[in-house]
Amino acid sequence: MSSEEEIREKIRKLEEALVEGRISEETYRELKAKYEAELERLRGEWVEVKTPKPAGAPPRVSAESLGDLFNKALDFVKENPVVLVPPILGGIIGVVIMRAIGLSTLGMPGLGRLGPRFAPPGPGYQPEVPPSVLGALGLALLGMILVLVIDMIFNGWLIAMVKQGLTGEVVDLGSSFNVALSKAVPIIAASILVGIIVGIGFLLCVIPGIIAWILLALTLQAVVVDDYGPVDALKASYEVAKNNFFDVLIIVIGQVIISAIVSIVPYLGFILSAAVSGFFAVLLTIFYVARKTPTAAVSI
């Protein structure tokens, strides 16, 4: 069917032909009436298509299924295997730190005499905690905090790389790491808030903790992808996960089960577990981008 502009052009040429005497007035009127009728019909169809739906009508959204997003995550990792560097590297650094702390703790004097020191010989005895034990505990605590911070930043690093790929940029280790560092404060703050909320949920009862874990599973994605602050990132994760609760639940449970299975593989279990965690972080990022708005789409 001709467009409106084409029909108007035909009418204009028809008028020129009448003025130049190339057609009779009768032919001019007949053709003009035909073109105008076609123009009116075209306008009527355009109005019907463009008329908005009545208020309250459910939007028609073509959403990709969880299976489609899973396949896209697989394709993304295949095309950009470098995206698994942050989780694997972060895991290696964490093991090195904790192993170093463990060796230094074992080497401190007095640890082998904890039993006798804490056995009260009589009434009124106050057990004495050796300074070496306090130092070991403090060192272990600092090491755990350092490992957690590295894990948070490296998660942000991976998400930044996924964002690069989804927006058509080159997936680059250096620039994505700089992005993660620039967002270090909101990443750490948001992670701490998630940990507190989920921890309180588990203390109250296991089920509230699991629900909070699911609802806040996309918090870091909101920080890195959409530049949200910690509190707004919690809200964004809540809104997306609330509307896609069972899909997020499946993703989280799948990660836990598969990570647990591969972690028992001799020698390679640690690396495989880190790679699995990295893949599911990719999947959650793609999922967040696809589901955060009704019209969002992921292009890989």
Confidence of residue 142 (pLDDT cuts 50, 70, 90): confident
Considering the chain, what percentage of its residues have pLDDT values greater than 90? 45
Give the Cα separation of 262 and 270 in Å (integer).
8
Which phi and psi (to 5°) does residue 142 adopt? Answer: -60, -40
- 234 and 277 share a domain? yes
Considering the chain, what percentage of its residues have pLDDT values greater than 70? 77
Per-residue pLDDT reduced to its tens digit, 182-228: 999 999 999 999 999 999 989 988 899 999 999 999 999 999 999 99
The pLDDT mean for the chain works out to 79
Model pTM? 0.67
- 160 and 237 share a domain? yes
- 39 and 150 share a domain? no
Give the Cα separation of 171 and 82 in Å (integer).
8
- 225 and 96 share a domain? yes
- 74 and 143 share a domain? yes
- 251 and 182 share a domain? yes
Decide: 277 and 48 in contact? Cβ < 8 Å.
no
Residue 297 resides in a domain: no
What residues make up the domain containing 137?
Answer: 66-108+131-291
- 41 and 174 share a domain? no
Per-residue pLDDT reduced to its tens digit, 21-72: 777 777 777 787 777 777 677 666 544 444 444 444 433 334 578 999 999 9
Residue 115 resides in a domain: no
- Mean pLDDT confidence for 258-272: 87
Residue 19 resides in a domain: yes
Residue 116 resides in a domain: no
Amino acid 244: pLDDT: 94
- 149 and 189 share a domain? yes
- 39 and 92 share a domain? no
Decide: 182 and 202 in contact? Cβ < 8 Å.
no
Q: Give how many domains the chain has, as a whole number.
A: 2
